[in-house]
Amino acid sequence: MNFAERIRSARVAAGLSQAKVAELVGRSPSALRNWERGKTVPSDRGIVVALAAVLDVAEDELLELAGFAPEDPAPAPPTLADLAPETEPPARPWETEEPIEPSVEMPVDVVAPSTSATVPPPLPPIAVPPPPSAPAPTSYLEDSREMMTYRIRALLTAAVGLLLLLLIEWGLRSVGTSLKELWTGVFG
């Protein structure tokens, strides 16, 4: 079974229309038709993965049918032992055991704060509520009010088009009659 046959059979088995599957994977219905007819295959690996999820097909199978090589497993993240240096780092001047002599003498009245001062307890973490999730937009095919709006627009467009055709026909008749009268008036 090739890619086109597999996605078509999975879509039919799931009871989904081409338009709905195309909407769910973020592509146009014509792109899905071309995939199902075998004219093209998706060039984006992410689209094939989305198709597999929507159609409930094994991701690896669909990727292989679409011509994508199996993805290599991600390398394991480095461990702490991998990041540890092989040798001891050089000593830093402030880590030496030798006392550092102050070069400027401090006045007696400037004293460091005593260590007996109490440190305030840390503040409790602030719980931030997650943002409200927006409902998924519905397609105009699923919303009956939207569908009725589109039907009314189509009828009005057809009525206006018919009216324009009648006006053009009336105008052409008037022009024809005027030209006929002019012809007979000039040439007898």
pLDDT tens digits for range 132-167? 666 666 666 667 777 888 889 889 999 999 999 999
CB 38 within 8 A of CB 6: no
Amino acid present at 78: P
The verdict on residue 122 lying in a domain is no
More confident residue, 77 or 173: 173
Q: How far apart are the first and last CA of the chain?
A: 80
Domain that holds residue 19: 3-66
Q: How many domains does the chain have?
A: 2
Cα torsion angle, 93, 99, 103, 109, sign: positive
More confident residue, 104 or 22: 22
List the structure tokens of 15: 């009871």
Domain boundary among 14, 43, 66: 66
The verdict on residue 102 lying in a domain is no
**Does residue 43 surpass a pLDDT of 60?**
yes
Q: What pLDDT was estimated at residue 157? A: 93
CB 25 within 8 A of CB 50: yes
Give the lowest-confidence range in 15-24, 88-97, 122-131: 88-97
Amino acid present at 106: M
What does the alpha-carbon distance between residue 2 and residue 33 come to, in Å, rounded to a whole number? 15
Domain boundary among 15, 43, 66: 66
